[in-house]
Structure 1
Amino acid sequence: MRIVNSNNDFMKNVLTLMGGTVAAQAIPVLISPLLTRLYSPEQFGMWALYMSITLVFGVVANGRYELAIMLPESKIKANDLFWLSCFISIILALMVCVLLIVFKDIITGFISKPILFYWLYYLPVSILLIGFWQALSNYHNRKKNYKIMAKGRFVQAITNAVVALSFGIYDIEYGLIASVILSQLAIVVVLLYRAKLSRPSSIIGMKDVAVRYKSFPKYDVWSALLNTLSVQLPVLLLSLYFNSILVGQYALAHRVLNLPISVMGAAVAQVFFQKAARLKNDKLLFSNLIINTYLKLLITGAACMSIITFYGESIFSMAFGGDWQKSGEFARYLSVWLLFVFSASPISNLYTILEKQKYGLAVNVIFFIARALSIVIPSVSGWPIDHVVLSFALTGMLLWVAQSYIILILSGVSKLKIISTMGIILPIYMTQFIIYRLFFN
């Protein structure tokens, strides 16, 4: 009965988060055909570059202490961790602001469109908002306030859509970037309004939790930074070797595929994190939760990505216009990689739950180097961009399969279960991808 009730609670919380999240993520997907007619591939390329820079800084905005909010049993310590996370994001935002002013000329030299630099002045604002957003999300997650979290995401999506469409209609070039900043503000306001916050216990209290959970900034910051950098590498590196139009085509493909993936993946990840943190001392329930979660996501992801594998170009041309057919081709390649991102991302939180950040850091160092080489080597060799994207996607797939195996082993799942689970889906999915490449491409 304990396991049944536990599973029911897990699915109930996932569905609660997904209720608001599905609506929130459906909005960007639904308006994408309008955005592709209001904004050019080049403008999508500029938006993608700003987003990549923002996400890289955002992932370390709290020194990763925001993840530790879930762990202590003491409410006082969790509250101190919340305020510590916010304080670090303020410091980082101020540091970036100073760096932008001091190194303005150097930074401008690296940007293909100098006018984009002036939007980078808003980068500290985005860092601050992301930092508060992440701290508040984990604060609400600890309290199981999933309805509030879902409402925040919905408001964020509505704000993003309204601003992007409004600016696009009036032909304001950087409407996509403005929509990102204002939507970040919107979700922070919602989460902050519904949070019942207490003052930090004391400076000494914040210092104590900073020392107790020092492995988060010591290891997890670098691990998360490398992971985010490696995910954003295509936009950052493709911008060096190819024009912004092709980068925009890639950005749309990644945006459209990643949005529905993040609907369920993000909801599962947050609920999984909360539940796994509570079950980590019960080895049987802990390992069963992990392998069952992974298997269900793998099957669901394979079913969805099969559609993109066969019909990606047709879907993109029909939905977004003939100018975006190349995005459909990129989407077919990316589906191979994103399937395993979708299935393994929620359980990757186990590095944090088990406090095995050293393993996570080592894995992400390998990820970063391999992904960079998968883009730089073919680009320097003169490969066309579609082959470069395929090289990146296949490399990412192999890395995530390997990481899944490592995480499951660390979690106490037997090798036989792992091999049988992966053996069901991986051969079937890869066979259909190869068949398509050989006979339908």
Structure 2
Amino acid sequence: MINALKKDGLGKNIAIMGLGTLLAQGINVLIQPLLSRIFPASDLGIYTFVISVANILIPIASLKLDLLIVSEKDDMRAQYITDICVLACFFVAFGLFFFLIVCKIFFPNVVLLQYGSLIYFAPILVLTNGLRFLFISYNNRYKEYKLISKLEALRELVRAAIQTASGFLIFGAQGLLAGYAVAPVLGYRLQMKRYFQGLKNRPRITFSQIKGLLIRGRKQIMFIMPAQLINSFSSSLVTMMIGALFSASALGYYSMGVRVLDVPIMFISSNVSKVCFQRICESVSESQPISKTIAKLVLILSAVSIATFGVVFLAAVPLCELIFGQGYGIAGSYIRCLCLMYAMRLVATSFSGSFTAFGKQKYELFLNVALVLAAFIVYGLSIACSWPMESFLKAIGFGYSIMYACMLAGVLCCCFKFDRQLKSL
């Protein structure tokens, strides 16, 4: 199976992306024990809460039109789609800022504002990180995987430096958020080099072209964007629910646990998803079969996921005490509640965006609506039954695991159906 992936170049591209993410996440992992010792758990909780709000909009800052940059056949049209995505990032960030101002005036006691003015970091995070991911899609179109990998590692290094300095200077949650906001800006010039070269040698986009491309990408806006928004909301919703049900310190312990669980996701699925999406789009465009390659990759990822999160489950409590310091065994117990969900998530999210290639965006929307409904059901049960934190997390993990399994099954069905259609031609 691995040899098959090597032959078609998929394994090589995944390895290149994986190396960059290994460096980036290596820096992230190494800095966490220091941050847990120089920041109180409550500051880490506030930091996680604000990031969770921003993370609702960061993935859809480009209205999910950035996926079309990768799949678009015509280079000029891809350039114009990128223009629209840049404008969308600014629009979405400003929209969040305006929304927060309205909440401050009319709903001052809303949960979003429970940590005061720090929430206004969220629009900045949306803008800087939205542009970062937009141009990762642009680089992905041209298979510039080495560039993506180098910049991701360098950005993590800068973020770690800013946050560490902030801790020693006792800047609190503000310093943590500043590092997260500023780091993505590093590397824009390199990421945008090809784009700016194209910008100099082509006519500027017109209003009629914007209108036409928005109509062309209406499925992205109507189905994939809401699906991603709901998916991001479902992930951030857990953090906000913990903030509402439990203390900032509990949220801080949870955040450190999630950082441990996110390492395999960031290292494996985030890179596999970019390469797989590009390959699926290419295969669909060129009418080439794809199901065998994807099925083999699912088996490999499943084996890796089970082994990885099995070890994490067994070692979580003593490992957290050792890495993060005394008292962080609590984070380890939270990790154990979520291992099943993250094992399913690693495999399923490795094929993120794949429904776009098959024109089945509505399926992704339905599945993500189900994720949000599952979270609200668990939230209601938690209030009614006065569940402790561990019970809340176990219920969330079980509900989300079912949804991720359905998501993966849907992608596989699309691949096999596409191959059957090719054979019938």
Q: Residue 61 of structure 2 corresponds to which residue in structure 1?
A: 61
Alignment of 1:120-135 (within 5 A): 120-135=119-134
Shift of 1:236: 0.6
Task: Deviation per CA, 1:276-311: give whole Å up to 9, x if none.
Answer: 101126777311121112111111111111111111
Shift of 1:195: 4.7
CA distance in 2, matches of 1:354, 1:337: 26
Alignment of 1:247-286 (within 5 A): 247-280=251-284, 285-286=289-290
2:402 to 388, 398, 401: 398
CA distance in 1, matches of 2:335, 2:288: 39
Q: Which letter does structure 1 place at the counterpart of 2:101?
A: I
Question: What is the aligned length?
Answer: 411
Q: Residue 95 of structure 1 corresponds to which residue in structure 2?
A: 95
Secondary structure of residue in 2 paired with 1:144: coil
- Do residues 373 (structure 1) and 372 (structure 2) align? no
Q: CA RMSD in A?
A: 2.1
Q: Residue 358 of structure 2 corresponds to which residue in structure 1?
A: 354
Alignment of 1:9-408 (within 5 A): 9-106=9-106, 108-111=108-111, 116-174=115-173, 175-193=175-193, 195-199=195-199, 200-280=204-284, 285-408=289-412
CA distance in 1, matches of 2:106, 2:205: 43
CA spacing shift, 1:375–1:99, aligned 2, 3 Å: closer
Shift of 1:193: 4.8
- With 374-383 and 146-155 compared, the bigger mean Cα shift is at 374-383
Task: Deviation per CA, 1:159-196: give whole Å up to 9, x if none.
Answer: 11001111011111122111111112224354235655
Shift of 1:10: 0.8
Q: Do the aligned partners of 2:364 and 2:407 also contact (CA within 8 Å) in 1?
A: no
CA spacing shift, 1:300–1:6, aligned 2, 3 Å: closer
TM-score normalised to the size of structure 1? 0.88
CA distance in 1, matches of 2:106, 2:150: 41
Q: Do the aligned partners of 2:5 and 2:11 also contact (CA within 8 Å) in 1?
A: no
CA spacing shift, 1:171–1:398, aligned 2, 3 Å: same
Q: Do the aligned partners of 1:375 and 1:391 also contact (CA within 8 Å) in 2?
A: no
CA spacing shift, 1:57–1:5, aligned 2, 3 Å: closer
Secondary structure of residue in 2 paired with 1:103: helix
CA spacing shift, 1:379–1:191, aligned 2, 3 Å: farther
CA distance in 2, matches of 1:180, 1:217: 27
CA spacing shift, 1:101–1:5, aligned 2, 3 Å: closer
Shift of 1:91: 1.6
Task: Deviation per CA, 1:185-231: give whole Å up to 9, x if none.
Answer: 22435423565542344333232221111111111111101111111
Shift of 1:8: 4.4
Q: Do the aligned partners of 2:60 and 2:225 also contact (CA within 8 Å) in 1?
A: yes
Q: Which letter does structure 2 place at the counterpart of 1:171?
A: I
CA distance in 1, matches of 2:282, 2:53: 34
Shift of 1:376: 3.0
Unaligned runs of 5+ in 1: 415-441
Q: Which letter does structure 2 place at the counterpart of 1:376?
A: G
CA spacing shift, 1:107–1:53, aligned 2, 3 Å: farther
CA distance in 2, matches of 1:219, 1:316: 40
CA distance in 2, matches of 1:93, 1:72: 26
CA spacing shift, 1:20–1:195, aligned 2, 3 Å: farther
CA distance in 2, matches of 1:386, 1:4: 42
Shift of 1:99: 2.9
- With 20-29 and 187-196 compared, the bigger mean Cα shift is at 187-196
Q: Residue 421 of structure 2 corresponds to which residue in structure 1?
A: none
CA spacing shift, 1:97–1:332, aligned 2, 3 Å: same
Q: Do the aligned partners of 1:379 and 1:388 also contact (CA within 8 Å) in 2?
A: no
Q: Do the aligned partners of 1:41 and 1:245 also contact (CA within 8 Å) in 2?
A: yes
Shift of 1:21: 1.3
Shift of 1:349: 2.0
CA distance in 1, matches of 2:287, 2:341: 30
Task: Deviation per CA, 1:355-383: give whole Å up to 9, x if none.
Answer: 21111111111111012212331233101
TM-score normalised to the size of structure 2? 0.91
